Amino acid sequence: MPDGDFLDLGWVGEGNSPLVLILHGLNGSINSHYVNGLLQMILQRGWRGVLMHFRGCSNEPNRLAKSYHSGETGDINTVISEILNREPKVQLYVVGYSLGGNVLLKALGTDAIAKYITAAVAISVPFELNKTADHVSKGLSKFYQWYLVRGLIYKYKQKFKTNKSLLNTDVNKIGTFWNFDNDVTAPLHGFRDAADYYYKSSSRQYLIKIETPTLIIHAKNDPFTPLNSLPQTDDISDQVLLELCDTGGHVGFVTGKYPWSATYWLEQKICSFFDKFTFESR
């Protein structure tokens, strides 16, 4: 990377076929079930796929004190620029899940690199980060918060196991997203506090500026996202299609009458959306 850090990318496929860049969710990696499902579907279609690990998410701590967050689009810009340097005529699609979806939508609405993306899909996005942080602090959603925050603390401790942290905070006492983002994310990435980070990084405010054909898939019963944070018609541009499902949870969307013969509807939906633009360009 330009700042001396590094990213690990996982590639599948070969040739000059369309390329799908995948952005995983919080604490995700090449081992995440949703990433593997999409990569398999991409291979079956004869396409290529590349999973971009956010900094520190590939089983090796990144070099710098900062890592990644819901509004960091610089690394995506660098990766896409490198892809374009290698393949100027590549047909490029981008898929983002959860945190990765928020990063993708923000980039589409703010960054010039968006004009090189043929089409995009964002799934289970936390459109307003402050409302998501509040929502997962209540009811059954607290379990998801506990699990994910534990993962963030583990990675933080691994990174600073041998190098002294720049922060004067006891991460073992952190129990919520608000606490972690206020004490760790914000100071490491130049935000005033968690509220400032959430305000500047939330993707809902950027949807109206998107000019790339984009499909957003979201479930009304997503345990991370309160209904009052979902974008309305006036929030999105005419290039954005918002598909709200009654069920699907968080990055779920499995159909089928019986558990042993489930159909992974989401992967099919993503590729079908991209097909519309692939055929038009041939």
Q: Give me the pLDDT at residue 278, please.
A: 84
Contact 128, 202 (CB under 8 A): yes
- What is the C-alpha separation between 57 and 65, in angstroms, rounded? 14
pTM reported for the whole predicted model: 0.93
Beta bridge mates, 93? 20, 119
Domains, the chain, with CATH or none? 9-128+204-281 (3.40.50.1820), 132-201 (no CATH)
Residue 269 has pLDDT above 70, yes or no: yes
Cα dist from 42 to 17, 133, 186, 256, whole Å: 10, 33, 36, 21
- HSE (CB half, 13 Å, CA atoms) of 6? 8
Mean pLDDT, residues 182-196 taken together? 97
Beta bridge mates, 187? none
Give percent above pLDDT 90 in the chain: 84
Per DSSP (E only), the strands in the chain are 9-12, 19-23, 48-52, 92-97, 119-123, 214-219, 240-245, 254-255, 263-264
- Tens digits of residue pLDDT in 90-144: 999 999 999 999 999 999 999 999 999 999 999 999 999 999 999 999 988 899 9
Q: Point out the residues that are catalytic.
A: 98, 222, 250
Q: Give me the pLDDT at residue 264, please.
A: 64
Q: 181: helix, coil or strand?
A: helix
- Tokens 């960091």 correspond to 72
Mean pLDDT, residues 23-37 taken together? 95
